[in-house]
Structure 1
């Protein structure tokens, strides 16, 4: 795939997820791809040999008919983008023929398709399918080039997964002087703030600079600012990040690596729209040795600033309008007047041109409407700047607002805009967003893309321009009631604790925006939403989000007017979960239990969890008898109210069994786990992860009691499930084998080797 992507022409360059969308379009349009998204970090791992490609894609293209369809897709989507498709095919053929790990019989079979010119694309399609199905061997990128010393930074393309700079708009023009000036300033000052009003083209200039000067730098990294620099560094996706790494450990490793980069690396931080005092981590980032380019609406006095103003050349702006309005030359005089009346504001010019192209208004009528707006503005104070340089009453804002109102979008499209307000700056897959809103197709979203209100990278990832987001918030007034479909969808995902989604960071950023921007007109529903999101964030160790939820719940439950005893108990439980001191956590958990005065069918599940959590804390604190007492109370409630089938019973009984084993009661521990295994098998299946975890726990107990034969049986059952479920993540399977060796060195190593031998 890397070989093919390298042959795409400069003018057609795209990022890795977009490239795979083009290659696997047939799969992405099929029912098999429901809820599937090309996450940027994961795609980079596939492309660099860090992870096995998704089994869904492998299975889909395993059929010969789908390989033929793949050949057709490559013909239509990929070949036209290449400068020399024959050279690309030749390079792939040589890569294949020179691979010593492929049998001669396989080479002979596939090479027969390469010789006739008319079947070369079928050769490529079958080769791609073969490559996906082969046994996966993870590539080690921690080599000498990453440890290079001297005056240059290490090459980090294969080391930081989600750092690719987006392409500038294909209609980018008229900024040659600014590009030269920006390069000079970065050379002389190292840190530059590219400052200007919203919609003037700061982000596009930064992307165009990265494209034009990429050969000047060893690395160019790109970060879309989402409100917190510390979190942005933490959320970066490095190849050596481990699943068990907490946020503090991830930040420590990432920050240390970024500090080591030198001035041959450029870091772009896009949409840094805060003041110097609003992000406490800014002084630390400014001490990095690499060059940094911020795009911002805020004026950072005392720092190196390049203010981006309107494009000076009228011909360039007319050319921009003509790119979106096919009759621009026919109505040149009117179009030029429209450009001037919107103050040559780049985004306003683009929106006006798209409005004309859609035929909503003729040029004469649009000009008249804009003149009416201008006249009304002259009768009031136009500009009242606020301290960070942003200005909601400035003329450019009103022009965009007028253009927005002229479209008269449908009720369905207004609903989409209302919910789009909460997407993170980097956007999300259009298919996933449509699924969140339960849309049957993408027609309304595609119409909004055509109007210019919704931004799209190719046709896959959608987001709102910051200006449009501000206007949509004021116009559509999103609330808990109005956005109930979105909240229900996100809540449903978070309640599926055993399911992992590749786009979880964007999901959590969306939740963060909901907390900040949504009107809370149904407090009961909103509290329940937060309470269900918290455990899912905790599962991913997303501390920024869990802290925000606790602060929000504290604010909402201040006094006794709002919320119920259940809400207050959950808040205390979540605070205990975040507490680092066991004694303080125990106190909070006991306070949580005290909130529930009477156990009923409605709150029994919660009370059971509170007892289990308190028991776990006592166990950590070395108070075994108290731990046993509360764990047994929790399990008793699950039995009493027929809740043993729920997901929560698994960690409860697992932890109880571990405690019994520590208390020299392994027979009781095994009995509890056997009962749990039967329940999981009855209510779910004996091929799910929960069943594997119970089998693993039973294997551990058998090891401790020196029942090697029975331990082997349980571990083999567990490993078989892990291998099926984690088929595309072999490193997780390997970690499981390592756990056996490390936990029980006396017998574990021999046992693990036996399992490995039997597997082979």
Structure 2
């Protein structure tokens, strides 16, 4: 016999017997008023998150928090709960004796677990307020003594991964939803299978919505081809721009490994076989529940296949919800659904097209019937393992619907550009900015009529994979036709956003456009690729860099784009690949060869791009010498880089951010060589450039103040060092927060300063600040 004296069982009795005007959240607040405070809570004060949390306490998904239990740490405090029962809770019960009777039944059912003595003691308590307080006290203390495993709540740490919003027109699937819940009770992993466009993703979203109170965490991952990358692509508050993709993965996966059966991870669009993802077998060993949508036929794991919705009830109703005017033509609507082979996505889009176009329903039926392949295909819709092919019938219907919608050029252009962007989606604001739209009217039109899917929960828009492929083939997204999008992304690559977190959506968009765009302007596309390399390198997307270098090399060879600058830049990028592999000797050879090429252009007539490239090449050569621990050669190469910028100062080379980086590298070398005066001169120039072109509140100025502090430390000027380092701490914290390498450097130097300056309390203060960053 099981113990029925749990908080879930007891609160269940009280909730079953309460007045309708006495809501659950008020009972919880009245019960634990010592913890929550005596203020009266109204429904408008109750956040959705708190409402869900209280429901989890009541249904057993979460225990009463230990913080509440610690509030009631002596008998007098339990007396406060007894008074709350007496004055607030019991008066709000419809039938107090019935609640008492049901609670005593719970005691009788638990005798084998709690013992006869405890059972009799509880039942002999005549005062109902004291009786229910004793039951609650026993229940919540016993719940914690069982040491059940509960997941930590990640809502404050996880910035992404929210389940996308459900379509408000979602209909049916009650049996399947119930079956999925049952299957997940007995299995930690469940695949949702079915043909493309049948509604697998919407089903997963609806399951999450229906069961949100059951789970402590629900994390949504849109699969893009590599599970490790998807996990690394989640956003946590602990992420920094300096973290590599592997570091991001390790950090994020550590959080996931702490989750248990009260947490659910949804993986959407997993359209490969499990064996085709190297990390999948390892991932499913975790303790949380996993729900996966896929087009594949799954045989080795538990799977639930979604079939067509019921034609007469569900699909017809779905059609009417999207096109109310069709209710007057039920027979024609039924015939349209037959022609569409009862395929959910095309049924929805047909109804939306009918609503948007204003055409007669008979006309729509005729157009669909005369689709070129309809008369040639009668077999069932095939299910393909991979996404190389989509079913011809579905594609034909979607193509016809796109044509019938008579979209103007602006709307077609939006679909054209979206077909290049990640299927996981981007924000409306990004799309408006990147396409330089005056407003979002056309986007909202496409959302309204089903061509664009809007996720209001995550504030993203996207194309269904089938619509994305159709849009691609129908609109021909090329470098020329998508020049506005390409230019906007190109500008992002050129901007040095040192103060930005790792911009995951932008990175995904850049790679997606690179992979999908049709090249009809090789020169512009090559320029884009060349500037993409340092951007991805900066955000440590190193696994894509070899593929990017291959693409650059192919473009140069295929289209004979072989200027001196192009060849030198390619050599430099190949050198960087050697650096990533720690093959510094070959990197050095490549960079020397690149400089040898560029020195041919080192003339008074050189333009800004060639002069800047030559300076950057010497700067990169300096870094390579440093890797090889050849300090003198590194210093000489860096001086040459800086001299070239001075030589071409009339072209504006001293105003670029590359100058600041080179100056800081040179300053570091001068400090290591104890050349204090020269270091101070370089820092003074650095400071003047930052104040002229940026501000005193930016990261660059914080770095400048840090270096001034390090210089003063070297010169044994503690007061000046303290002044600069404290100013640096304030600036960097306001820009980047505390968890980054810049703050670690500042804390380390302040600790060293105060330790040497015989100020132990301040030294200990900065030691404690430094330790959490070191551990992270």
> Is 1:695 equivalent to 2:705 in the alignment?
yes
Following superposition, the deviation at residue 213 of structure 1 comes to: 2.6
> Is 1:661 equivalent to 2:671 in the alignment?
yes
Q: Distance in 1 between matches of 2:294 and 2:476?
A: 26
Q: Distance in 2 between matches of 1:487 and 1:244?
A: 26
From 660, 664, 687, the equivalent of 1:677 is 687
Deviations 1:500-526 (A, max 9, x none): 556821111111111221112222211
Q: Secondary structure at the match of 2:484?
A: helix
Deviations 1:619-651 (A, max 9, x none): 233211111110111001111111112110111
For 1:260-409, list aligned pairs within 5 A.
260-276=258-274, 278-373=276-371, 376-378=374-376, 387-388=385-386, 391-409=389-407
Which residue does 1:195 correspond to in 2? 193
Q: Which runs of 5+ in 1 are unaligned?
A: 1-81, 93-144
Deviations 1:211-243 (A, max 9, x none): 223344343221111222111111222344455
> Is 1:228 equivalent to 2:220 in the alignment?
no
Which residue does 1:413 correspond to in 2? 411
Q: Distance in 1 between matches of 2:752 and 2:472?
A: 54
For 1:193-592, list aligned pairs within 5 A.
193-276=191-274, 278-373=276-371, 376-378=374-376, 387-388=385-386, 391-458=389-456, 460-498=459-497, 500=499, 504-557=503-556, 561-578=560-577, 579-581=580-582, 582-592=584-594
Q: Secondary structure at the match of 1:193?
A: strand
Q: 1:568 to 1:308 in 2, by over 3 A?
A: farther
Contact 1:703 1:747 in 2 (8 A): no
Q: Secondary structure at the match of 1:373?
A: coil
Following superposition, the deviation at residue 437 of structure 1 comes to: 0.7
Q: Secondary structure at the match of 2:657?
A: coil
From 616, 619, 623, the equivalent of 2:623 is 616
Deviations 1:295-353 (A, max 9, x none): 11233443333222211252111111121112122122211221221111111111111
> Is 1:596 equivalent to 2:598 in the alignment?
yes
Which residue does 1:161 correspond to in 2? 159
Q: 1:619 to 1:192 in 2, by over 3 A?
A: same
Return the TM-score normalized by structure 1: 0.74
Q: Secondary structure at the match of 1:327?
A: helix
Q: 1:241 to 1:683 in 2, by over 3 A?
A: closer
Q: Distance in 1 between matches of 2:752 and 2:529?
A: 37
Deviations 1:48-95 (A, max 9, x none): xxxxxxxxxxxxxxxxxxxxxxxxxxxxxxxxxx99437679x99xxx
For 1:628-647, list aligned pairs within 5 A.
628-642=635-649, 643-647=653-657
Q: 1:380 to 1:640 in 2, by over 3 A?
A: farther
Following superposition, the deviation at residue 662 of structure 1 comes to: 1.2
From 714, 717, 723, the equivalent of 2:724 is 714
Following superposition, the deviation at residue 485 of structure 1 comes to: 0.6
Q: Distance in 1 between matches of 2:526 and 2:757?
A: 46
Following superposition, the deviation at residue 369 of structure 1 comes to: 0.7
Q: 1:382 to 1:208 in 2, by over 3 A?
A: closer
Q: Distance in 2 between matches of 1:406 and 1:558?
A: 43
Which residue does 1:627 correspond to in 2? 634
Aligned residues: 619
Following superposition, the deviation at residue 357 of structure 1 comes to: 1.5
Contact 2:499 2:735 in 1 (8 A): no
Contact 1:384 1:391 in 2 (8 A): no
Q: Secondary structure at the match of 2:346?
A: helix
Contact 2:195 2:383 in 1 (8 A): no
Which residue does 2:98 correspond to in 1? none
For 1:6-21, list aligned pairs within 5 A.
none
Q: 1:166 to 1:382 in 2, by over 3 A?
A: closer
Q: Secondary structure at the match of 2:267?
A: strand
Following superposition, the deviation at residue 708 of structure 1 comes to: 2.3
From 714, 719, 735, the equivalent of 1:704 is 714
Following superposition, the deviation at residue 735 of structure 1 comes to: 5.1
CA RMSD of aligned residues (A): 3.4
Q: 1:241 to 1:564 in 2, by over 3 A?
A: same
Contact 1:298 1:390 in 2 (8 A): no
Q: Secondary structure at the match of 1:611?
A: helix
Q: Distance in 2 between matches of 1:202 and 1:385?
A: 14
> Which piece of structure 1 moves more, 689-698 or 488-497?
689-698
Q: 1:503 to 1:438 in 2, by over 3 A?
A: farther
Q: 1:387 to 1:621 in 2, by over 3 A?
A: same
Q: 1:724 to 1:261 in 2, by over 3 A?
A: closer
Following superposition, the deviation at residue 468 of structure 1 comes to: 0.7
Q: Distance in 2 between matches of 1:435 and 1:442?
A: 10
Which residue does 1:176 correspond to in 2? 174
Q: 1:344 to 1:749 in 2, by over 3 A?
A: farther
Contact 1:742 1:748 in 2 (8 A): no
Contact 2:240 2:501 in 1 (8 A): no
Contact 2:295 2:383 in 1 (8 A): no
**Of the two, which has the highest radius of gyration?**
2
Following superposition, the deviation at residue 185 of structure 1 comes to: 3.0
Q: Distance in 2 between matches of 1:494 and 1:338?
A: 48
Contact 1:311 1:346 in 2 (8 A): yes
Q: Distance in 2 between matches of 1:347 and 1:383?
A: 13
Following superposition, the deviation at residue 474 of structure 1 comes to: 0.4
Q: Distance in 1 between matches of 2:161 and 2:383?
A: 35
Q: Distance in 2 between matches of 1:408 and 1:584?
A: 58
> Which piece of structure 1 moves more, 263-272 or 273-282?
273-282
Contact 1:611 1:633 in 2 (8 A): yes
Q: Distance in 2 between matches of 1:252 and 1:320?
A: 44
Return the TM-score normalized by structure 2: 0.73
Following superposition, the deviation at residue 186 of structure 1 comes to: 2.8
> Which piece of structure 1 moves more, 195-204 or 546-555?
546-555
Q: 1:572 to 1:386 in 2, by over 3 A?
A: farther
Contact 1:524 1:563 in 2 (8 A): no
Following superposition, the deviation at residue 675 of structure 1 comes to: 2.1
Q: Distance in 1 between matches of 2:226 and 2:752?
A: 39
> Is 1:186 equivalent to 2:184 in the alignment?
yes
Q: Distance in 2 between matches of 1:442 and 1:482?
A: 20
Q: Distance in 2 between matches of 1:664 and 1:637?
A: 25
Which residue does 1:738 correspond to in 2? 747
Which residue does 1:56 correspond to in 2? none
Q: 1:652 to 1:745 in 2, by over 3 A?
A: farther
Q: 1:715 to 1:86 in 2, by over 3 A?
A: closer
Q: 1:380 to 1:531 in 2, by over 3 A?
A: farther
Contact 2:499 2:699 in 1 (8 A): no
Q: 1:566 to 1:201 in 2, by over 3 A?
A: same
Q: Distance in 2 between matches of 1:608 and 1:749?
A: 44
